[in-house]
Structure formats: C-alpha cells, structure tokens
Amino acid sequence: MSEKFDVIVVGAGPSGNAAAYTAAKAGLSVLQIERGEYPGSKNVQGAILYANALEQIIPDFREDAPLERHIIEQRMWVLDDESFVGTHFRSDDYNKPPYNRYTIIRAQFDKWFSSKVKEAGALVICETTVDSLIMDGDQVVGVRCDRQGGEVFADVVILADGVNSTLARKAGFHGEIQAGNVALAVKEILFMPQETIEARFNVKDEEGVVIEMFGKITDGLMGTGFLYTNKDSITLGVGCMLSDFKGNPNRTSPYTMLEKMKAHPSIAPMIAGGEMKEYCAHLIPEGGFHAVPKTFGNGWMIVGDSGGFVNAVHREGSNLAMTTGRLAAETAIAAKAAGKGFKAKQLAGYKAALDESFVMKDLHKYRDMPSVFHDNSQFFTTYPELVNRAARTMLTVDGIDKKTKEKEIFSSFRKSRSLAGLAGDAFKLWRAFR
Amino acid sequence: MHIVVCIKQVPDSAQIRVHPVTNTIMRQGVPAIVNPYDLFALEEALRLKDKFGGKVTMLCMGPPQAEDALKKCISFGADDAVLVTDRSFAGADTLATSYALAAAVRQISKEQKVDIVFTGKQTIDGDTAQVGPGIAKRLGLQLLTYVSRIADLDLENDTITVERRAEGGVQVLKTAVPCLITMLEGTNEMRFAPLENMIHAARYPVRKWNKEAAGIEDVTKIGLKGSPTVVSKVFGPTPRAEKALMQSVDDATPRDVALNVIQKIFTQHPTLERDILAKASV
C-alpha cells in the first residue's frame, strides 16, 4: 500500500509545524514525518519566541501556549576578561499586552505546537527518518522512509529537516554545508527559584530580561553569548562560527568557552546556585543572504533552517522558520486550488512571497555582515578591550584630570588600531549595517 | 483468541528531575512514554497473535493524553485500543487502579471473550508490581507473574505452559486459560513498525471510556476515595559521597590495563592492599 497525500512535511520544528498546521487547517491532507522520538526531541533554540510570526499562524496562541516570560528589558554587553560595558533598554511599553516576545522552553513549546498541528488534522508520525526523495523524472513525488514499506507519496514535499538538510543535499538542491556558514552554539538551562530570578534581574511576575553579549567571551572568535530568564530557570549560551572553532589556535572547545563564560566575574553572580537541567548543542545556519539555496522546484519547497533562513545579526531564526513554513504551505494551498499541477512554475509564488516578506528583506540588508565580522576579529577582541579600558579610565577617580584621560583613551585606540584602521572598521560596519 | 494488554503511560524516568526545594517530581517538559516493561508484554501478545491468530486489544487508564501511548501500541500491531479516562480516577493507587482496569476488562470481554490478559512486570514510576496481580484476583484469573517465556499454548484444551523467573531458578508452570501474565523484561525485542502501521496508528480513533462506559458502579472504589495508600513523606535520596573516577589508559594488553587500574585503586585505598595481602597469606 502506498498512500498519497496533498503535502508531506519532513521535520517537526517550527518551520515544519507552521507548514503542516497551515496546510492542514486549509483542508489539505498532510503527513508530517519526524525523525525524533517525539516532536521537539531533536530541536534546540535559545530560545526567544517573537510573537508576530506565530500570531500570523495561530492568532490566539497566547491562550494556551507554554510561554515563560515576556521580555521587558534588553541588555547589550561588550565584555573583556573582567568587565563589561553595556546598554540596557527597559520600557514599560513592553509590559502592555499583547506582548512582543517571550522566552520559551522548546521541549514544552514544541509539544504544544505539535498538538495544534494534530488538532488541525495533520497526521504526525515520529521515530521515522526520511532517507530520500522519490523522483519521477525531475518531479519530486514522495519520500522514502527507513521503515518497511517506507514509500509514501504527495503532490508537494516541504523540506523542514533542519540545518543539515541531508535530503536537499542528497537530491542536489543545495551543496554541502560550509563550516564558514554555520555557527555551533551550546547552551545550558540552569534551574533557579523564581524569587531568585526576580530579585537578581529586577523583574516581577512574568517579566523577563535578555542579555546579548559579545567580546572576549568568545576567545577572539566571531560569535555571541546570551542569557535569557525563564520562569524558574536561566538559559545561558554561546556560539561561534564552526570554521573558527576548527581554525582556532587555542583549540577552545564550545564547552570550555561556555564554562569560561560562566566564570566571568560579571556573569557568575547572576547564575550562582543554578542547577543544570539541560545541556544542548546545535548548529545554526548563519551564512545569511548569500548562503540561501534554491528555495523551490518541481514538487518541493525548502523552509526554516534547511533553507538557511536565519538572521544572525538580530538573533532571529524561529520567526523566519515559522514564516517560511507558512508561506510554503500557502503556496501549496494556492497551487492545489489552481489545479494546474505542482511544477516549479506553480510553486514560484513561494519565492515571490519570501522576497516580499521581512525574511529576504532582512537577510538582504545584512548580506555582507557575516563576512565583515568574520574577516575582522578585532571586533571581538581589540574593541571590547579598548571600550572597557576607556570606561575604566574615565570612571576611575584618581586625581588625574579628565583631559589627560581623554588623551590616554584616544592614544590607546590609535596604538591598537591605526587611524586608517579605525576609519576602515567604521566604514565596514556602516556598509554592513546600512 | 483475544488478548488484552494493559499498559501505562509514564514520564520517562531517565529524564526526570526532582525539584530541589519541594522534592516533587518536575514533570514539565519530560516526555511521556509507554512503560518500557509493558512493551515486553505487548510484543509477547503480538507473537501469540502471529502464531495463533486472533485479536490484541490495548487497555490503559490515564488522562486524555495517554491516547498517544495507545496509538504507539497500535503502530506496533495491536488491533484495538481503549482508554479508560475520567476525572474521578485521579489520585488512584494500585488498589483503585486494578479495580478500574478489572472492570474495563470485564466490559471488553462482553464484546469478545478474553483469553489472556498481559501486563508488564511493573511500572517504572510506581515500581509496585501490584496492579497485574490485582486485576487477576478481581477477575478470578490464573496468575502467572515474572514470566520469561511462554513454552506452550494449547487452545484445544485451554492450557498454557510458561517459564517463570523464581529465586534460584526457573519454574515451569502449567495452568488453565484464561489467565493473566505479567511479563519479565528482556524476554523479547519489540518489532519495528512498518510505515503503513505508523500512518494507521496516527489515524486510529482510540476508544475513550468514562467510568460508566467502563462499567464501574461503586465510585468509592476508584480514584482518591478508593485509595487507602498514604504518602507520608517525600524525600530525595542523599547523594553518595564517593565519586566514580574516569581513568584513561593506553596500555596495550588487558593485563597491563588491569594492573594499572589495580595499582591506581591501591594508591587511593592504601588499607585495601594491606587487607588483601593479609587475607592472601592466610
């Protein structure tokens, strides 16, 4: 027996769930195939949920989705070895519902999202790996699984199989992933009583704080660290480009980097007493605009991490995943309604919708960002040190007049980076952020 | 032949954390699985079905989400599934649980006579091993616990012969069918479901029975009311002071590795070497 569905979705992460939900809700017959033991068992994220992308799919998600805290304060820290310079943005605006973003625990959130997918009418099967796509000439017509009688067919296959996207690579839709295009991130969830979190971070009820960090915590590699407050735990993580880990002369392992970060004098007191509940590691596609492969073809579309849809600059991923998943499903729904088949021509609306959305617009805006930071490690070593030293010089009261201090700061910058270097770095940043 | 297999949905105990303050189990985000011991019972039932034909009906008492556990069993090849679910079952201990399950088995046998009831040897969350025997007693079935092998099933004469793990050996028991068997772990290996079964299971409409449908008349015997068990105190085990040490060795032969490890142990426990030498000289 070989069944045929309207849509097969491979993978049950945010993009796959968004696609399966949207398609099933519209009345299409949907089969979702997940490799893990249950939906979410293989999924890793920071995790911040940006409300808007999910709102477009499930408008009343706030009613029953497991959300931790809504973010009312965003901190940006630039760290050297013993200090940090930072900005904090806190606004009571963020305390007015509907809230803009939340911290979530993915194990719980994914379980909820998957239950919505099933309610919408999609069939979800787990512990099943899709080995390859079934082709009829140049048309994708189904998938082949690792189970007996493992062939199943569909008009459209949506590839939501995650960062490695073995399926798309096997089918030749995109090349091998490059170490320079993926970050390796590790994180820990540390249990801490609710009261302790609220006292340490100056929040109450369901309010939360996010700290984004960069500087010397990444050992000179291109990367960032983060700390998120959950209801009764803290998520702490750090990530760097995989190619940098490989080429790093210090041979710092991701785990050591995280341990070092936890011991930083500015971070250690915030997490003191936390009991580790979870340790995860995951790859993040951070190649940006230039690394996005072909997104659709005859009978297939690619969504989420599999398509490299991550905005590394703003630490956004799951919202792009959900949006691409939704747009792919909407394209499939439209193609089904039009009744003219599911060739690339009928699925081209997906790319048009992507280009029209914030997804491709944002990726395009920061298209040169990854390479700027990647080729200029001073942004992660020299500058954080200089900025911290400048702050220390200026704020230490020791009988030296302020004019002399200013001079000292300026000369320390000039000594570390020539005037031309400083100007060049500023220009590079301006170009990349423009 | 009609076989009923009783299962329980349990939190995956390998992933459970104990709340550091209240000592209660933190179930949030912990995946729910089919009690692993029950899967040996299911596989044994499926093997009997493969050999003799018939039907395997799954039975579970639990909250509505326990439906997932039953669907999983359907994917392995069970034919039907009943979830006994009712708010009034909440807080049931083994006495109340076996009462409710026995009633449900009675209802199931009204549809088709039940020949064998299977359960796992125990659950991984309660560890009591009382529910299986409880059902057998209430239904007046022959009870075979800790069964490691079904040697023979004679449907003509309604007899069954099984091997049972006992202290110091294996008992071979022969009794009459219908009976209840609690299956020992490690006795078989669960099959890998074909894709067709996975899709069938995802679609399968699990039957949900409330207490009336399950044929329960006496509400004082179910749920918290029917549970005389009292939890007087919850406490976490004290962490052990001694720690395991990892020792990496590059020695070429097992003998060298062993000598090296023994040497390291003696270095840490000087008295141990002396004691052993003293004993050896006696």
For A152-207, write each residue's pLDDT tens digit: 999 999 999 999 888 999 999 888 888 888 999 999 999 999 999 999 999 998 99
Between chains, do B31 and A38 touch, taking CB under 8 Å as contact? yes
Tokens (6 digits) for B54: 């018939």
Instruction: Tokens for A151, please give them.
Output: 């062939």
Cα B105 to chain center, whole Å? 18
Contact A145 B193 (CB under 8 A): no
Residue A347 CA to residue A341 CA, distance in Å, equals 9
Give CA–CA dist B49/B72, Å, rounded: 18
Domains along chain B with CATH numbers:
2-221 (3.40.50.620), 240-282 (no CATH)
| pLDDT of B173 above 90 | yes
Residue pair A16/A325 in contact (Cβ under 8 Å)? The answer is: yes
> Among partner residues A38, A148, A191, which is closest to B195 by beta-carbon distance?
A148
pLDDT tens for each residue of B195-238: 999 999 999 999 999 999 999 989 999 999 999 998 888 777 77
Return the pLDDT at B210: 96
Q: Kindly state the tokens that stand for A195.
A: 């009261």
- DSSP H helical segments within chain B, as ranges? 36-52, 67-76, 94-111, 131-139, 195-203, 254-268, 270-281
Tell whether the torsion through CA atoms of B260, B265, B268 and B274 is positive or negative: negative
Share of chain A above pLDDT 70, in %: 97
Q: What mean pLDDT comes out for the span B241-261? A: 77
**Which CATH number is correct for A180-285, 3.40.50.2000, 3.40.50.300, 3.30.9.90, 3.30.950.10?**
3.30.9.90
Interchain CB distance below 8 Å, A275 and B20 = yes
Mean pLDDT value across residues B102-108: 97
Q: How far is the alpha carbon of B74 from chain A, nearest alpha carbon, in Å?
A: 12
Check residue B187 and report its DSSP letter: S
Residue A397 is classified by DSSP as -
Q: How far is CA B211 from the centre of its chain?
A: 24
DSSP letter at B54?
Answer: -
CATH of A4-68+104-175+293-356, one of 3.50.50.60, 3.40.50.150, 3.20.20.70, 3.30.830.10: 3.50.50.60
Whether pLDDT at A354 is above 90: yes
Q: Tell me how far apart the alpha carbons of residues A247 and B196 are, in angstroms, rounded to a whole number.
A: 47
Q: How confident is the model at residue B175 (pLDDT cuts 50, 70, 90)?
A: very high
Cα torsion for A91, A93, A97, A98, to the nearest 10°?
Answer: -90
pLDDT: is B23 or B179 the higher one?
A: B179
A75: tokens are 């901190």
Q: A125–B17: do the CB atoms touch at under 8 Å?
A: no
Cβ neighbours, 10 Å, residue A243: 18
CB contact under 8 A, B29 and A111: yes
Q: What confidence score (pLDDT) does residue A1 get?
A: 52
B268: left (phi over 0), alpha (psi -120 to 50) or beta: alpha
pLDDT at A218: 84
Rounded Cα–Cα distance for residues B130 and B138 (Å): 12
Residue B187 has pLDDT above 60, yes or no: yes
Distance from CA of B67 to the nearest CA of A (A): 12
ipTM of the complex: 0.84
Chain B residues with CB-CB distance to A121 below 8 A: none
Mean pLDDT of the residues in chain A: 90
Q: How far is B88 from chain A (nearest CA, A)?
A: 24
Q: Which residues on A lie below 8 Å from B20 (Cβ)? A: 191, 275
Asked if residue B7 has pLDDT above 90, the reply is yes
Q: Where are the domains of chain A?
A: 4-68+104-175+293-356, 180-285, 370-433
Query: How many Cβ pairs closer than 8 A exist between chain A and B?
Result: 46
User: What residues form DSSP beta bridges with A79?
Assistant: A84, A215
Quote the minimal CA–CA distance from A346 to chain B in Å.
28
> Which residue of A lies nearest to B30 if distances are taken between CA atoms?
A107
Residue-level pLDDT at A374: 67
What are the tens digits of pLDDT across the range B34-50?
999 999 999 999 999 99
Across all residues in chain B, what is the average pLDDT?
91
Rg for chain A, CA atoms, rounded: 23
Token duo for residue A271: 């997490």
CB atoms within 10 A of CB A95: 13
Tokens for A89, please give them.
């943005």
Q: pLDDT per residue over A397-425, tens digit each?
A: 888 888 888 888 888 888 877 777 777 77
Query: Which segment of A133-137, A259-263, A381-385, B227-231 scores lowest on mean pLDDT?
Result: A381-385
**What are residue A212's phi and psi, to 5 degrees?**
-100, 135
pLDDT of B22 above 80: no
Work out whether the CA dihedral B254, B257, B260, B266 comes out positive or negative: negative
In angstroms, the CA A117 to CA A326 distance is: 12
CA distance B267 to chain A (A): 30
Question: What's residue A431's pLDDT?
Answer: 67
- CB distance from A191 to chain B under 8 Å? yes
Residue of A nearest to B65 (CA): A115
Kind of pairing between the strands at B207-209 and B80-84:
parallel
